[in-house]
């Protein structure tokens, strides 16, 4: 890995820094900085020291691979260096080095490596270092790979390369390039999903169609305007002196078995798009692809990811409307990633996105009003049929609001609540956002910052920090006194046995209710008391485990159906303690839905179960993860999905089904293959196989 | 998966994993920072003494596979919360995500500090400062109603240089009374009365 280290000779470190940080100084001195880098690197190359040359080659290779914003910058530097005869072999070796990395593409789980390498190679073609004919042959290679693979891995690489290569390719090799476009058209018509590939393809197709109509290349000129991604535009005279390499190369296409799924784009931000023409803007799609790449490449370091976005904004001289478009694309892309609820292997947490959104907004404090308005626009366009989307979005927004100094257009959010529509999805959204917000920040701290009507409305809702009341009051009083005495499990059992009651289950149930009341005081109470008491209940001859699990789940629902937070926490805790099992949870869910409980209570339970099952994918021990159990769970869920009329509940059930199957796959791969064969839906199989 | 980590290109520009070295850990600096590099535990500082476990849990449980364990910092004498806690995740990657993206952001109207920790062991949940509170509260120049009210006691206790406390530099920023006009909550819920 390219690292600046103290043991390394200073000149090597300097070379690495120069190349890595090329263009970081900003747009004002950009041309001068590039020229300086070229001069310095040229001088180093002239020293003819092998380690210096190797450092230069490796630096270019690593940076070209990992810094997609700078592909054009590196191509320009190499083009300028090539005009100095002495460095001609440098580009040769860099390309060879990159080609050696190409077989690695097939081993990757995502196409990012392929995308960035091909983008760089297309920029080398744009500056004249690479032969157009041989580059177009590469596109044929990718197209061949795309035809033969089930998932759109190579297709993604091909589509993301086309925008960067198309102008030169159309200019120098129009017939072959048009042939490729026609073949891609065929490949894309076979795909039916509207994901990021679909929108990228639409924008490419529209651009090319318009370009044909507009022979004077006005659109081309607009597309080529910004110099930071294409700095070779700043050196027109020098580019005529670039010596082209007569090298041909091939993209090695290897048959892959791993499935890759492109991200969904559920909410579009293209202002050009209209219902009639269905056009998309290519610049938006290119920006969107770059945002995906940057997040993936820099996600381990928040400072760097924020720096990259600032670099884009500072160095690409955007007009006010372009700036607005970039801001909208950025926010919409981030929020689209938040609301992508169908499981993905590379899905990051809502805390990642909300944290990133906050840090980025803090660096755009001059435009914070526009920033917030864009978020409001997104919410207005959000799909209205999925409560898991509401859960993810409310996570993100509640955290964002906490860090916004509360200078928000409250009417925009709270205005969605309609007291006359008790079950509406908008009402659920508003309740979720404010419940989470007022969990993250105490209401009494912000009474001056939030409108009074919202505070009053919130105070009327069921308090999510308190459970509902216990039914058997006198029995509860007795049990509570034992709990206050801090009896251990055995002592408690002895006391409970002494209680005479015609229905022994009522004693256990009341005990559990009292226990749930106690453990609701804090997370620590939960940890201590549940271990102290629940473990003794699991002993044989006290109560059958199935019965205990059933009573436990019924009690949790009765007392906490208004609080997603507590449902999640208790389900997870009791699963870990093996008081309840996944199968019992699904049966319990089925009963709740059959009983036609209030919709919002059902939604709370669905969200909690989805969350708990999702987190099981990363745990070492998955409860009751046997083939028979999971098969039974799958059968029950499939039946529920089939019978369910409400699409909101149905979509959540489908997600829960996916989560448990994915959890099973990650812990018992061979058995899960057996189960997958019995699943009819191709889409479900594809999703599970992508993990 | 290969090293698709572009941030590593800028490693020389990155901050050290933590500014804080706990001398009472009985580890050498090398051992200590190595433990941090593989740790699954975070230290959360600058919390309000009124911030509840649920509030912390709600935010930090959104990361990865969720929180494995949460241990509130307490006053050994009174059992009350003193404004810090430890959060343990199931793996280092989740802890890193929380550290990167939740550090210096607000929770309960305070900018919280998220730092790496070598891991919880019994006794570390107690404050080491005056009266069982945190040391930093003993050196507070500006009164903070959301932190333990400690008599200023200059000249006693351990003296800290700029690197001795957990980002002591930020002390002046920490008495964040934004959202003024709030009422002090009656007591706090974190105690050891289980």
What is the average pLDDT score of chain A? Answer: 87
Residue range A266-280, pLDDT digits in tens: 998 866 554 445 556
Q: Nearest residue of A to residue B185 by CA position?
A: A444
At residue A551, the 3 state secondary structure works out as helix
Other CB atoms within 10 Å distance of the CB of residue B92: 16
For residues A689 and B19, give the distance between their C-alpha atoms in angstroms, rounded to a whole number: 43
A118 touches A138 (CB < 8 A): yes
Chain-chain contact of B105 with A399 (C-beta, under 8 angstroms): yes
Q: Does A304 touch chain B (CB under 8 A)?
A: yes
Chain-chain contact of A351 with B109 (C-beta, under 8 angstroms): no
A3 pLDDT higher than 90: no
Residue range A305-334, pLDDT digits in tens: 999 999 998 888 788 888 898 999 999 999
- pLDDT given for residue A14 in this prediction: 92
> Per mean pLDDT, which of A2-16, A332-346, A402-416, A525-539 is the most reliable?
A332-346
Range from A82-91, A521-530, B102-111 carrying the lowest mean pLDDT: A82-91
Chain-chain contact of A297 with B102 (C-beta, under 8 angstroms): no
Kindly list the residues from chain B whose CB atom is less than 8 angstroms away from the CB atom of residue A406: 179
Chain-chain contact of B194 with A300 (C-beta, under 8 angstroms): no
**Which of 12-71 (B) contact A at CB < 8 A?**
12, 14-15, 50, 52-55, 57-66, 69-71
Overall average pLDDT of the A221-244 stretch: 82
For residues A65 and A67, give the distance between their C-alpha atoms in angstroms, rounded to a whole number: 6
- pTM value? 0.91
A540 pLDDT higher than 80: no
A46 pLDDT higher than 90: no
A6 pLDDT higher than 70: no
- pLDDT given for residue A536 in this prediction: 76
* B187 against A414, higher pLDDT: A414
Chain-chain contact of A305 with B5 (C-beta, under 8 angstroms): no
Which sign does the torsion angle of CA B35, B41, B42, B48 carry? negative
Q: What is the percent of chain A where pLDDT is above 90?
A: 50
Confidence category of residue A218, pLDDT binned at 50, 70, 90: low
The CA–CA distances, whole Å, from A123 to A112, A138, A143, A685 equal 17, 14, 19, 38
- pLDDT given for residue A191 in this prediction: 87
Q: Nearest residue of A to residue B12 by CA position?
A: A4
Cα end-to-end span (Å), chain B: 46
- pLDDT given for residue A647 in this prediction: 93
Kindly list the residues from chain B whose CB atom is less than 8 angstroms away from the CB atom of residue A2: 8-9
Which sign does the torsion angle of CA A491, A497, A500, A502 carry? positive
Confidence category of residue A41, pLDDT binned at 50, 70, 90: very high
Confidence category of residue A201, pLDDT binned at 50, 70, 90: very high
- pLDDT given for residue A431 in this prediction: 95
Q: Nearest residue of A to residue B183 by CA position?
A: A444
Other CB atoms within 10 Å distance of the CB of residue A401: 27
Kindly list the residues from chain A whose CB atom is less than 8 angstroms away from the CB atom of residue B91: 618
Residue range A180-189, pLDDT digits in tens: 999 999 999 9
- pLDDT given for residue B194 in this prediction: 59
Kindly list the residues from chain A whose CB atom is less than 8 angstroms away from the CB atom of residue B190: 522, 524
Q: Following DSSP, what letter does each residue of A99-110 receive, concatenated? A: HHHHHHHTT-SS
Chain-chain contact of B59 with A352 (C-beta, under 8 angstroms): no
Q: Which two tokens stand for residue A99?
A: 């080609």
List all residues 6 or more positions away from B161 whose beta carbon is below 8 Å from its beta carbon.
none
Which sign does the torsion angle of CA A522, A526, A529, A533 carry? positive
Mutate which: B50, B85, B188, B194, vs A, most A CBs within 10 A? B194
Residue among B7, B59, B70 whose CB faces A399 most closely: B59
Range from A199-208, A246-255, A637-646 carrying the lowest mean pLDDT: A246-255
Confidence category of residue A137, pLDDT binned at 50, 70, 90: very high
Q: Which two tokens stand for residue A406?
A: 């509360």
- pLDDT given for residue A223 in this prediction: 67
Residue range A603-627, pLDDT digits in tens: 999 999 999 999 886 444 555 678 8
Residue among B2, B91, B181 whose CB faces A108 most closely: B2
Residue range B139-175, pLDDT digits in tens: 888 888 899 876 554 444 333 333 334 443 333 333 3
Q: Between A and B, how many CB-CB pairs are < 8 A?
A: 170
Kindly list the residues from chain B whose CB atom is less than 8 angstroms away from the CB atom of residue A354: 62, 101
Give, to the nearest 10 degrees, the angle between helix A132-148 and helix A174-190: 20
Confidence category of residue A149, pLDDT binned at 50, 70, 90: confident
Other CB atoms within 10 Å distance of the CB of residue A194: 13
A241 touches A38 (CB < 8 A): no
Q: Nearest residue of A to residue B112 by CA position?
A: A403
Our CA-based measurement puts residue B60 at a distance from the nearest CA of chain A, in whole angstroms, of: 8
- pLDDT given for residue A423 in this prediction: 86
Mutate which: B11, B62, B99, vs A, most A CBs within 10 A? B62
Our CA-based measurement puts residue B122 at a distance from the nearest CA of chain A, in whole angstroms, of: 15
Q: Which two tokens stand for residue A11?
A: 């000149």
Q: Does A644 touch chain B (CB under 8 A)?
A: no
Residue among B90, B98, B106 whose CB faces A618 most closely: B90
Residue holding tokens 């440098």?
Answer: A90
Q: Does A113 touch chain B (CB under 8 A)?
A: yes
For residues B52 and B58, give the distance between their C-alpha atoms in angstroms, rounded to a whole number: 10
A637 touches A657 (CB < 8 A): yes
For residues A163 and A668, give the distance between their C-alpha atoms in angstroms, rounded to a whole number: 42
Confidence category of residue A291, pLDDT binned at 50, 70, 90: very high
* A193 against A657, higher pLDDT: A657
- pLDDT given for residue A472 in this prediction: 79
Chain-chain contact of B14 with A63 (C-beta, under 8 angstroms): no
**Which of 482-511 (A) contact B at CB < 8 A?**
486
The CA–CA distances, whole Å, from A141 to A93, A126, A173, A623 equal 22, 19, 16, 46
Kindly list the residues from chain A whose CB atom is less than 8 angstroms away from the CB atom of residue B50: 442
Overall average pLDDT of the A34-43 stretch: 93
Q: Does A631 touch chain B (CB under 8 A)?
A: no
Residues of chain B with pLDDT under 70: 1-3, 12-15, 150-194
Kindly list the residues from chain A whose CB atom is less than 8 angstroms away from the CB atom of residue B98: 351
Q: Does B186 touch chain A (CB under 8 A)?
A: no
Chain-chain contact of A486 with B109 (C-beta, under 8 angstroms): no
């Amino acid at each position: 890995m390219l690292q600046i280290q103290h043991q390394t000779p200073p000149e090597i470190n300097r070379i690495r820094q120069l190349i890595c940080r090329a263009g970081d100084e900003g747009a004002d001195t950009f041309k001068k900085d590039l020229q300086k880098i070229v001069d310095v690197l040229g001088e180093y190359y002239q020293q003819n020291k092998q380690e210096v040359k190797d450092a230069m080659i490796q630096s270019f290779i690593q940076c070209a691979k990992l810094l997609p914003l700078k592909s054009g910058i590196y191509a320009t530097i190499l083009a300028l260096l090539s005009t100095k005869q002495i460095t001609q072999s440098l580009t040769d070796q860099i390309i060879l080095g990159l080609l050696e990395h190409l077989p690695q593409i097939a081993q990757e789980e995502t196409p990012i490596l392929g995308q960035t390498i091909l983008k760089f190679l297309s920029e080398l073609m744009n500056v004249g270092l690479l032969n157009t004919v041989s580059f177009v042959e590469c596109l044929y290679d990718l197209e061949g790979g795309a035809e033969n693979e089930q998932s759109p891995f190579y297709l993604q690489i091909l589509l993301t390369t086309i925008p960067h290569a198309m102008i030169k390719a159309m200019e120098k090799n129009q017939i072959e390039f048009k042939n490729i476009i026609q073949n891609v058209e065929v490949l894309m018509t076979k795909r039916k999903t509207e994901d990021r590939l679909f929108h990228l393809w639409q924008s490419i197709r529209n651009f090319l169609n318009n370009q044909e109509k507009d022979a004077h290349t006005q659109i081309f000129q607009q597309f080529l305007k910004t110099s930071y991604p294409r700095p070779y535009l700043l050196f027109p005279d020098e580019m005529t002196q670039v010596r082209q390499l007569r090298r041909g190369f091939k993209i090695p296409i290897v048959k892959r078995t791993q499935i890759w799924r492109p991200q969904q784009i559920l909410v579009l931000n293209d202002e050009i798009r209209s219902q009639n023409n269905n056009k998309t803007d290519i610049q938006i799609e290119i920006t969107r692809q770059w945002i995906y790449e940057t997040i993936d490449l820099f996600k381990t370091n928040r400072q760097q990811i924020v720096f990259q976005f600032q670099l884009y904004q500072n160095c690409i001289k955007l007009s006010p409307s372009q700036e607005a478009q970039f801001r909208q694309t950025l926010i919409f892309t981030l929020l689209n990633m938040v609301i992508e609820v169908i499981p993905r292997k590379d899905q990051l947490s809502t805390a990642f996105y909300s944290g990133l959104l906050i840090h980025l907004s803090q660096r755009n404090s001059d435009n914070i009003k526009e920033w917030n308005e864009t978020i409001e626009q997104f919410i207005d366009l959000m799909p209205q049929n999925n409560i898991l989307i509401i859960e993810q979005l409310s996570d993100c927004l509640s955290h964002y609001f906490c860090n916004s100094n509360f200078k928000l257009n409250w009417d925009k959010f709270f205005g969605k609540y309609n007291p006359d529509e008790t079950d509406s999805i908008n009402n659920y959204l508003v309740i979720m956002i404010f419940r989470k917000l007022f969990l993250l920040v105490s209401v009494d701290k912000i009474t001056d910052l939030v409108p009074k009507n919202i505070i009053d409305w919130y105070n009327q809702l069921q308090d999510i920090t308190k459970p509902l009341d216990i039914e058997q009051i006198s029995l509860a009083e007795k049990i509570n006194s034992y709990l206050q005495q801090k009896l251990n499990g055995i002592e408690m059992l002895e006391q409970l046995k002494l209680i005479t009651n015609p229905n022994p289950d009522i004693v256990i149930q009341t005990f559990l209710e009292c226990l749930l009341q106690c453990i609701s005081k804090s997370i620590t109470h939960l940890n201590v008391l549940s271990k102290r008491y629940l473990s003794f209940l699991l002993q044989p001859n006290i109560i059958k485990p199935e019965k205990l699990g059933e009573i436990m789940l019924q009690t949790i629902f009765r007392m906490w159906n208004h609080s997603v937070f507590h449902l999640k926490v208790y389900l997870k805790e009791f699963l870990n303690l093996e008081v309840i099992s996944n199968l019992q949870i699904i049966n319990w869910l089925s009963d709740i839905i059959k009983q036609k409980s209030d919709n919002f209570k059902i939604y709370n339970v669905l969200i909690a179960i989805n969350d708990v099952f999702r987190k099981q994918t990363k745990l070492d021990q998955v409860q009751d993860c046997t083939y028979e159990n999971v098969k039974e769970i799958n059968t029950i869920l499939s039946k529920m999905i089939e019978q369910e009329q409400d699409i909101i509940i149905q979509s959540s059930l489908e997600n829960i089904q996916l989560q448990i199957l994915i959890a099973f796959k990650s812990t018992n791969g061979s058995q899960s293959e057996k189960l997958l064969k019995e699943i009819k839906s191709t889409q479900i199989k594809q999703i599970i196989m992508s993990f | 998966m290969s090293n698709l980590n572009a941030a590593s290109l800028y490693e020389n520009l990155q901050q050290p994993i933590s500014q804080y070295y706990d001398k009472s850990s009985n580890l050498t600096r090398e051992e200590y920072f190595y433990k941090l590099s593989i740790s699954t535990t975070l230290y959360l500082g600058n919390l309000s003494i009124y911030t509840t476990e649920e509030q912390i849990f709600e935010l930090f449980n959104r990361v990865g596979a969720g929180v494995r364990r949460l241990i509130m910092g307490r006053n050994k004498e009174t059992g009350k919360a003193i404004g810090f806690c430890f959060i343990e995740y199931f793996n280092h990657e989740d802890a890193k995500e929380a550290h990167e993206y939740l550090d210096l952001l607000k929770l309960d109207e305070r900018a919280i500090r998220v730092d790496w920790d070598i891991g919880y062991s019994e006794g570390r949940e107690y404050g080491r400062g005056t009266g069982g509170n945190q040391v930093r509260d003993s050196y507070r120049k500006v009164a903070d109603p959301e932190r333990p009210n400690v008599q200023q006691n200059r000249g006693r206790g351990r003296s800290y240089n700029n690197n001795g406390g957990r980002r002591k530099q930020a002390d002046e920023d920490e008495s964040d009374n934004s959202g003024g006009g709030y009422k002090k909550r009656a007591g706090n819920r974190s105690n050891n009365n289980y």
